[in-house]
Structure 1
Amino acid sequence: MSEGSFADASTIGIKKRNSSEPVARLVPALTLVSHPMAHRVGERLLMEGVLSGRPVELSRNAPDFQRPDAVLGTPLADPFLSRKPVVFSQGSGGGVRLAPGDGIKVALAGEPLREPWEFSPEELSVGVVLELAERVVVLLHWADPSTRTAVDALGMVGTSAGIEQVRHHIEQVADLNVPVLVRGETGSGKELIARGIHQRSQRRDQAFVSVNMGAIPKELAPAELFGATKGAFTGSVKDREGFFGAAHDGSLFLDEVGEAPPEVQVMLLRVLETGEIFPVGERTPVKVDVRLIAATDAQLEQQIQDGRFKAPLLHRLAGYEIRVPPLRERREDIGLLFHHFAREELEAIGEAWRLKPEDASTEPWLPAPLASRLVRFGWPGNIRQLRNITRQLIIGSRGHPRLRLDPRLEKELDSSLQPRPGRPVAPAAPDVRVEAKPPTAAAKPPAEPKSSAARRKASDISETELLAALRGCAWDLKAAADRLGVPRSSIYDLIDKSPHIRTAGDLSVEEITRCFQECTGDLDAMAQRLEVSKRALGRRIKELGLGSGES
């Protein structure tokens, strides 16, 4: 499995987070994160005209989305999207304004967007996740129009300006013999960059040796790296080649180089300066020809100040430096990476057909609320964490038509979600402002008018809002319908369309029986624990002969 990565924004002129300076050569863009036709993920719509005052109207039928390496494109073409457009236009301060109007239903951070909304340049740098008609998810962000590929021969996945710059870095330095230092958070794909440098170098037909310095016991590190002669230490019964010897004429990748003990740092500095190593127990130097590529997630400058790392070694290692930003700063690549890993997992279990739907009216295999969660998540473990969560989702959803999020993963993904970005263009109506204001400890939320039941459309209600209402009403569907302001019949339709909400019919006999015993037959407690309709659960209990149930 491969891990995509890309360079720090400062190396390519992309506006950094917390920077207010405009970026002239980047343009607003929409990138597909999730679509019923899964192969379309990663396609984008460049909106060059927005910042010069030419609005872009987005509907089911226009304009075209396309991959960076494609000549022709295709509109969203989802028959459930409206023909009436939503409009993206120039906002104040160099941002982008979105006007939903009567067009496609747009949700922002799980909440329906009913009024014009404005996103600042900084928010576009982070990326704004938009759900369209609860089926298609796009990311609004800055994009480099010069990007020309999505997946390259090195296995790096992404269409972002940053990953394109990493590809450029590799091409620039690969054929040189200078050492390279790759810096970035853990799990961000540093080894993939090192392999890319090796594969593009003149040493591509020789060995590539990968070593994790943090996994080698400090007392064994000199022998493991530089080799040892027979009898050099207790247990040394034969000559040991060492990693430098194994990588002769090839490339040696030292991950977590900041973990190297002091004596090893001295030896590394010598081999970088002279091309010679001293195997443990050997007094005669041995010449080696090795291209050294190192990586770290540590602040080596701080370690130098603390006396734990040698400044001359850092200067030698960083003959050329590549910085890898974390996944949370490259949200436009998350959809492509997720589907890349998903394809590998689905092929392993024989279900690759799930990513090949026949028409755009198919229910999305990756539901929009889940896709939005994935993009808005903070990803402290970066690409490695994304790959692991993808595997969990695929395996946990075997036998189901769509991906399902179990409570543990839901809790993990909800732990660091990006807040709802932007601000309304015009002040909200007074009643909306009152409802949106957080209640104080002494205040009670305003009561809903009895006539509110017919004021809302079911399509305006997100899964998050539906679930909150059901939980708040102890899974009484009629009460939840009243709270949401929709007919009771709409609640059934909403539950049926929600990938993460079960019905009583989805429960196994064993699950119901066990819960009945643990809750001593208390129907209210069972409904809240199993999170299903109380009435429907009562009927299942009665059918199973566990109790009288509830009609």
Structure 2
Amino acid sequence: MDGFSHEGNMADVSTLGAAGRERVQEPRSRLVPALTVVAHALPHRVGERLLLHPVLLGREVAVSRNLPDFQRPGAPLGLPLADPFLSRKPLVFSPAPGEGVRLDPGEGSKVMLGGELLQGPWAFTREEVAEGVVLELAGRVVLVLHLADVQAETADPLGMVGGGVGIQRVRRHIEQVADLHVPVLVRGETGSGKELIARAIHQRSKRRDQAFVSVNLGAIPKELAAAELFGAHKGAYTGATRDREGFFRAAHGGTLFLDEVGEAPPEVQVMLLRVLETGDIYPVGGHTPVATDVRLIAATDAQLEERIQDGRFKAPLLHRLSGYDLRVPPLRERREDIGLLFHHFAREVLEELGEAWRLTPEDASAEPWLPAPLAARLVRYAWPGNIRQLRNLSRQLIIGSRGQPRLRLDPRLEQELEAAQAPRPGRPAVASVSAPEPKAAPRRKASEVTGPELLTALRACAWDLKATADRLGIPRSSIYDLIDRSPNLRTAGDLSVEELTRCYQECGGDLEAMAQRLEVSKRALGRRIKELGLVPGNT
């Protein structure tokens, strides 16, 4: 498909994932369409936004190089986009049915949507806007069309980066519960920042001047968990050569953060329930209760209700832990914040490299250090590892581009950022809105996957790395590490030109057959043969 030449029909709301549905369950009177800058030749412009109030009132909003002003939430003044490569002729945003937003590029700047050129008016449902629509303008500036909370706070005393609806909701929850002496259960996917939330609660509580003790239960051997948490007397078990204080007593008067609480062994669950009910702990090997004064915050990325049904978690403990239940949104629900987060992590790395000047250019006509197509891919990516993955990828990208005038992806990062699914026929992949996928395998650690198991899964999934990761129940990023460590596996980048050319000729350019014969990722293989000037078949 060359582009979009007409106003398309919108995706059925039933195709929107549960995460997307939750995003729009705010009071509609508070949420308005907005445009947020996520990439610009002047990085300090990232995070500025334009509220599209008139669209809700049935009017149009024209956006060009010179008008209107974008500004940070709460700032008294703003500036137009002002990139000299953008057109003076405006893009026009107007109402669409069902509180949606219609975009007409007219004769204004070229707009890339889902990697394709928008050639005519296009409408987005309210649900799609809630998911976040990535707009790339003139190959220079990247905006996200999303819903913004008009009552968002103007400042963030909690040290959290971002101003989207999801993170503002978290801020409100923190303010509501921080000064109370109730346990809090923080739910969220791995890497979504649950410990940061726990620390913010502690810092806003009456215990802020006391200890904050963080414990990852998933990292403690199960046989030592009780002693580590509640302490132990000398001789209580083999290897107990001295009295152990335990994390509860170390956090006395302050806050104890228990991450991965779903991994607590059964006997530890019983002891946690007792301390939540009475405030007393019993050190291992002891018979006298020890009073404690601890504010408990627990976190999990597991569905504890399912574990209760399986008999792996105690229902009374869940009820005690969730004195207040707080959900941290995954990064894919915070697309408008990705630009700010990326530049936050970039500054940390660039300062260490002595290249922080890259984030303070003065010439708006210079080639952006973060190319717009790359920025758009970052925003569209699903981020299964959430903020932790974004931080690690940004470091890899920046260090790998050290000394270069612009950021460039190496082949491995290129693979990692591949879109999970191709666009549906007739419309762009605006926000990864897709039909529900089959239920993935139970989550597990990549270290548990054996070489033969990995090879079997790769073959069963026709070397589709995402499908393989889902089949094995591990993050997709771990697949690359497993392949690198396996002496019997290789990637498309490991293939020689001679082997690729010979296989291409023998398979008649059939990409599917080549991937099966060479046993490498079909997508990565397709890129390699295109680099050689060959034309793949069956793509």
TM-score by length of 1: 0.74
Q: Could you tell me how far apart the structure 1 residues matched to 2:353 and 2:194 are?
A: 28
1:139 lines up with 2:139 in the alignment: no
Partner of 1:109: 114
Q: Could you tell me how far apart the structure 2 residues matched to 1:22 and 1:204 are?
A: 33
1:415-466 CA-to-partner distances (Å, cap 9, x unmatched) read 4268479959xxxxxxxxxxxxxxxxxxxxxxxxxxxxxxxxxxxxxxxxxx
**1:518 Cα shift?**
6.6
Q: Could you tell me how far apart the structure 2 residues matched to 1:92 and 1:423 are?
A: 18
Paired residues for 1:201-350 under 5 Å: 201-350=205-354
* Higher alpha-carbon deviation: 259-268 or 408-417: 408-417
Q: 1:129 to 1:114 in 2, by over 3 A?
A: same
Paired residues for 1:399-414 under 5 Å: 399-414=403-418
Q: Could you tell me how far apart the structure 1 residues matched to 2:26 and 2:202 are?
A: 37
Partner of 1:381: 385
Q: Could you tell me how far apart the structure 2 residues matched to 1:46 and 1:19 are?
A: 17
1:28 lines up with 2:33 in the alignment: yes
Q: Could you tell me how far apart the structure 2 residues matched to 1:529 and 1:326 are?
A: 33
**1:330 Cα shift?**
1.2
Does the CA contact (< 8 Å) of 1:57 and 1:86 recur in 2?
Answer: yes
Q: Could you tell me how far apart the structure 2 residues matched to 1:146 and 1:410 are?
A: 38
1:68 lines up with 2:54 in the alignment: no
Q: Could you tell me how far apart the structure 1 residues matched to 2:98 and 2:352 are?
A: 49
Q: Aligned Cα RMSD in Å?
A: 2.8
**1:56 Cα shift?**
0.2
Structure label with greater radius of gyration: 1
Partner of 2:50: 45
Q: Could you tell me how far apart the structure 2 residues matched to 1:56 and 1:153 are?
A: 33
Q: Could you tell me how far apart the structure 2 residues matched to 1:24 and 1:225 are?
A: 47
1:128 partner letter:
V
Q: Return the match for 2:375 from 371, 378, 383.
A: 371
1:135-183 CA-to-partner distances (Å, cap 9, x unmatched) read 0000001111122346x33321111122122112111111111110000
Q: Could you tell me how far apart the structure 2 residues matched to 1:79 and 1:361 are?
A: 6
Does the CA contact (< 8 Å) of 2:167 and 2:329 recur in 1?
Answer: no
Does the CA contact (< 8 Å) of 1:109 and 1:420 recur in 2?
Answer: no
Q: Could you tell me how far apart the structure 2 residues matched to 1:28 and 1:417 are?
A: 26
Q: Could you tell me how far apart the structure 1 residues matched to 2:46 and 2:423 are?
A: 24
**1:532 Cα shift?**
6.9
Q: Could you tell me how far apart the structure 2 residues matched to 1:391 and 1:223 are?
A: 37
Partner of 1:95: 100
1:214-267 CA-to-partner distances (Å, cap 9, x unmatched) read 111111111000000111111111100000011011110000001001100010
Q: Could you tell me how far apart the structure 2 residues matched to 1:421 and 1:20 are?
A: 29
**1:519 Cα shift?**
4.9
Q: Return the match for 2:202 from 183, 198, 203.
A: 198
Q: Could you tell me how far apart the structure 1 residues matched to 2:199 and 2:357 are?
A: 31
Does the CA contact (< 8 Å) of 1:376 and 1:417 recur in 2?
Answer: no
For residue 298 of structure 2, give the secondary structure of its aligned residue in structure 1. strand
Q: Return the match for 2:358 from 354, 361, 368.
A: 354
For residue 151 of structure 2, give the secondary structure of its aligned residue in structure 1. coil
Q: Could you tell me how far apart the structure 1 residues matched to 2:176 and 2:424 are?
A: 40
Q: 1:306 to 1:531 in 2, by over 3 A?
A: closer
1:399 partner letter:
G
2:152 partner letter:
T
For residue 399 of structure 2, give the secondary structure of its aligned residue in structure 1. helix
- Matched residues, percent identical? 73
Does the CA contact (< 8 Å) of 2:20 and 2:131 recur in 1?
Answer: no
1:182-207 CA-to-partner distances (Å, cap 9, x unmatched) read 00111110000000011111111111
Q: Could you tell me how far apart the structure 1 residues matched to 2:422 and 2:346 are?
A: 23
Does the CA contact (< 8 Å) of 2:332 and 2:386 recur in 1?
Answer: yes
**1:90 Cα shift?**
0.6
Alignment gaps of 5+ in structure 1? 1-13, 425-514, 535-551
2:373 partner letter:
P
Q: Could you tell me how far apart the structure 2 residues matched to 1:32 and 1:80 are?
A: 16
Does the CA contact (< 8 Å) of 2:256 and 2:294 recur in 1?
Answer: yes
Q: Could you tell me how far apart the structure 1 residues matched to 2:396 and 2:163 are?
A: 25
For residue 80 of structure 1, give the secondary structure of its aligned residue in structure 2. coil
Q: 1:533 to 1:415 in 2, by over 3 A?
A: closer
Q: Could you tell me how far apart the structure 2 residues matched to 1:63 and 1:422 are?
A: 32
Q: Could you tell me how far apart the structure 1 residues matched to 2:47 and 2:145 are?
A: 12
Does the CA contact (< 8 Å) of 2:23 and 2:166 recur in 1?
Answer: no
1:8-31 CA-to-partner distances (Å, cap 9, x unmatched) read xxxxxx982597999232111000
Alignment gaps of 5+ in structure 2? 1-18, 429-493, 506-526, 534-539
